[in-house]
Amino acid sequence: MTTHRDYGLWAGAFAALACLWHAQATAQDGEWRYIGGNAAHTRYTPLDQINAENFEDLELAWLWRGDNFGPRVDYVFRSTPLYVDGLLYTVAGYRRTVAAIDPATGETIWTYREPHTTRWERGMRNNYGKGV
């Protein structure tokens, strides 16, 4: 005879397996669409282009400067860049200017700075950058 407890155990096991499967799911083509890489925030990617054998051979390809997005130089970046549809997205400066960057060249493609409004004044703290 099946009890409500049995149904609860099966439902719990199914939910746990679904969460594990979802945590392992990654975006197509190595995209980093979430702050933590995926919806489960695992910060994991199955990409293997960079590994322990070739890590020491890496060289700097380009440097993106984010120190000219405000009235003063701000060297503090608290955002994790996102990689979506072939572009990197990040924020810079105390006004949290959003920037789209070409990952091959480091060229800034476009920027957007929210207008100085009441919404901006009451918004999240400076340099936060979460949810680019």
Give residue-wise pLDDT tens across range 44-100: 888 888 889 999 999 999 988 877 777 777 666 667 788 899 999 988 877 778 899
With 60 as the cut, is the pLDDT of residue 41 above it? yes
Mean pLDDT over 97-108 rounds to: 94
Residue 91 DSSP class? E
Using one digit for the tens of pLDDT, what is the confidence trace for 9-40? 555 555 554 544 444 454 566 787 877 788 88
CB of 36 within 8 A of CB of 44?
A: no
Q: What is the dihedral of CA 24, 30, 31, 33, to 10 degrees?
A: 20
- pLDDT band for 8, please (50, 70, 90 cuts): low
Calpha distance 45→42 (Å, rounded): 9
Helices (H) and strands (E) in the chain, counts: 2, 4
Calpha distance 88→102 (Å, rounded): 6
Determine the pLDDT at residue 124: 64
